[in-house]
């Protein structure tokens, strides 16, 4: 298969900083779209992958799955895009297309495993996939999204992961004007969850450990902020919420949040992957028909629905634009929860 060399930024080992490198991209095949990347968001999952937090990272690793750019080549069989169009790619670049999940537009739950935009298995080149911290990406048009023309393009990028990851559970659990929603953690995912739940008409509360984010949360549209370390504030919202979206990336006690669920309420974990500590107390779950659930990103049709919704409502991410060379510092700031509220890389800086 013909390939071209493109510039990228990635890491060669767990402990290593990210640095400039060259990677291969395939030439467009029949159904492929080549996108010249203009902006790429920085997700906490990029950091987890670069540092092998989840195990299984293949090095060199090039992160980045919040990609927006312009189409610069199309395969002969492409129908959705033409050269010059805006286009976006999120966390998936392939799936089996034939399993029950894929047939139901739930490619994120592909029974044969979806192909991640990075650190996945590229079926074409039989190597690992490389993400959006790069000049160009080549993706099957099924996994390429249309971008509303009326939005700030750099601030659209985070919709492709932070946006869809919070949109999908809000939609699945039928959040609307009568819902009371809470969001745990005000970072990339958390700030999108507030905006999207408000966009759907819900009453929204933020749970945060960080009192100095309160004003920001209110400006983002939250109706209230509860400091999760303050027992009195937690008691005041006991039994209140229909849905809680928990975006915390590390192990934490979810029991206090379950107490704040209404009867039949659901706590949806989208951040931390792994065993919970301390142990989950089933008493409030059984006595209140409460659920603890999880959710991963969203399907392609649902991601397009989100982008169209954001176009109509004028919703984008709050971003801090950085140069590619600033990525290692950005990761350190992300570890300190010092992101307001998503870093986005200006890909022009990759030279
Ligand atoms: P982020 O921007 O770093 O935000 C995480 C927020 O969680 C922080 O701003 C902080 O908010 C809070 N937090 C951080 N460490 C904490 C701790 N030890 N205890 C309690 N709260 C803590 O991260 P992100 O990009 O939003 O990603 C969040 C998580 O979701 C990551 O683990 C990421 O890998 C995962 N993720 C999952 C999916 C999915 O499909 N399920 C998709 C994308 C990302 P406060 O300062 O307000 O407390
Ligand atoms: Zn992500
Ligand atoms: Zn499938």
pTM for this one? 0.97
Q: Which residues of the chain have pLDDT under 70?
A: none
The full set of domain ranges for the chain reads 3-161+298-350, 162-294
Three-state SS at 257 = helix
Residue with tokens 């510092």: 329
Ligand 1 pocket, 252 CB below 6 A?
yes
Kindly identify the ligand whose nearest atom is closest to the C-alpha of 183: 1
Distance CA 278, CA 274 (A): 12
3-state secondary structure 279-344: CCCCHHHHHHCCEEEECCCCCHHHHHHHHHHHHHHCCCCCEEEEEHHHHHHHHHHHHCCCCCCEEE
Distance CA 159, CA 165 (A): 9
Kindly identify the ligand whose nearest atom is closest to the C-alpha of 160: 2
Kindly identify the ligand whose nearest atom is closest to the C-alpha of 44: 1
Handedness of CA 166, 81, 93, 97 (dihedral sign): positive
pLDDT value, residue 241: 98
pLDDT value, residue 183: 98
Name the residue with the closest Cα to ligand 1, atom 46: 210
Name the residue with the closest Cα to ligand 1, atom 23: 44
Is the CB of residue 317 less than 8 Å from the CB of residue 165?
Answer: no
Q: Considering just the CA atoms, what is the radius of gyration of the chain in Å?
A: 20
pLDDT value, residue 280: 95
Name the residue with the closest Cα to ligand 1, atom 4: 187
Distance CA 146, CA 155 (A): 15
Please, what CATH class does the domain formed by 3-161+298-350 belong to? alpha beta
Question: Percent of the chain having pLDDT more than 70?
Answer: 100
**Among residues 55, 80, 90, 60, which one has the least CA distance to residue 167?**
90
| 195-254 confidence digits (pLDDT tens) | 999 999 999 999 999 999 999 999 999 999 999 999 999 999 999 999 999 999 999 999
Name the residue with the closest Cα to ligand 1, atom 9: 187
Distance CA 228, CA 278 (A): 16
Gap from CA of 129 to ligand 3 centroid (Å): 18
| 275-315 confidence digits (pLDDT tens) | 999 999 999 999 999 999 999 999 999 999 999 999 999 99
Domain pair 3-161+298-350 / 162-294, same fold: no
Token couple for 298: 């969203």
Three-state SS at 37 = strand
User: Rounded to 5 degrees, what are φ and ψ at 225?
Assistant: -130, 130
Gap from CA of 50 to ligand 3 centroid (Å): 26
Gap from CA of 317 to ligand 3 centroid (Å): 30
Atom of ligand 1 nearest to the CA of 341: 2
Task: Give how far Cα 341 sits from Cα of 25, 154, 185, 244, Å.
Answer: 31, 13, 11, 20
pLDDT value, residue 351: 81
Ligand 1 pocket, 220 CB below 6 A?
no
Gap from CA of 269 to ligand 3 centroid (Å): 23
Distance CA 77, CA 160 (A): 25
pLDDT value, residue 1: 86
Ligand 1 pocket, 245 CB below 6 A?
no
Is the CATH number 3.90.1150.10 carried by domain 162-294? no
Distance CA 334, CA 211 (A): 17
Pairing of strands 203-208, 224-227: parallel
DSSP state of 278: S
Ligand 1 pocket, 185 CB below 6 A?
yes
Ligand 1 pocket, 187 CB below 6 A?
yes
């Amino acid at each position: 298969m013909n390939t071209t060399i493109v510039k990228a930024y990635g890491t060669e080992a767990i402990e290593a900083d990210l640095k400039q490198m060259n990677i291969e991209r395939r030439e467009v095949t029949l159904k492929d779209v080549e996108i010249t990347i203009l902006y790429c968001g920085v997700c906490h999952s990029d950091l987890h992958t670069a540092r092998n937090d989840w195990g299984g990272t293949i090095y060199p690793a090039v992160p980045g799955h919040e990609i927006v750019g312009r189409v610069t080549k199309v395969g002969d069989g492409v129908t959705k895009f033409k050269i010059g169009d805006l286009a976006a790619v999120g966390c998936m670049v392939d799936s089996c297309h034939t399993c029950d999940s894929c047939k139901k537009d739930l490619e994120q739950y592909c029974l044969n495993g979806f192909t991640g935009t990075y650190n996945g298995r590229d079926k074409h080149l039989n190597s690992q996939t490389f993400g959006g911290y790069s000049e160009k990406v080549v993706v099957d048009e099924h996994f390429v999204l249309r971008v509303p023309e009326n939005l700030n393009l750099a601030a659209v990028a985070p919709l492709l992961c932070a946006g869809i990851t919070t949109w999908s559970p809000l939609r699945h659990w039928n959040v609307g004007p009568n819902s009371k929603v809470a969001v745990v953690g005000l970072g990339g995912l958390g700030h999108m969850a507030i905006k999207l739940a408000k966009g759907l008409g819900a009453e929204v509360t933020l749970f945060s450990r960080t009192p100095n984010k309160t004003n920001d949360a209110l400006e983002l549209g939250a109706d209230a902020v509860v400091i999760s370390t303050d027992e009195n504030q937690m008691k005041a919202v006991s039994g209140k919420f229909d849905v809680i979206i928990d975006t915390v990336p590390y192990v934490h006690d979810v029991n206090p949040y379950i107490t704040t669920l209404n009867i039949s309420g659901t706590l949806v974990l989208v951040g931390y992957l792994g065993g919970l500590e301390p142990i989950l107390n089933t008493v409030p779950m059984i006595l209140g028909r409460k659920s603890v659930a999880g959710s991963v990103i969203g399907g392609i049709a649902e991601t397009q629905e989100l982008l169209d919704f954001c176009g109509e409502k004028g919703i984008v991410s709050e971003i801090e634009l950085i140069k590619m060379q600033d990525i290692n510092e950005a990761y350190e700031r992300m570890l300190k929860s010092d992101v307001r509220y998503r870093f986005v890389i200006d890909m022009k800086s990759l030279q």
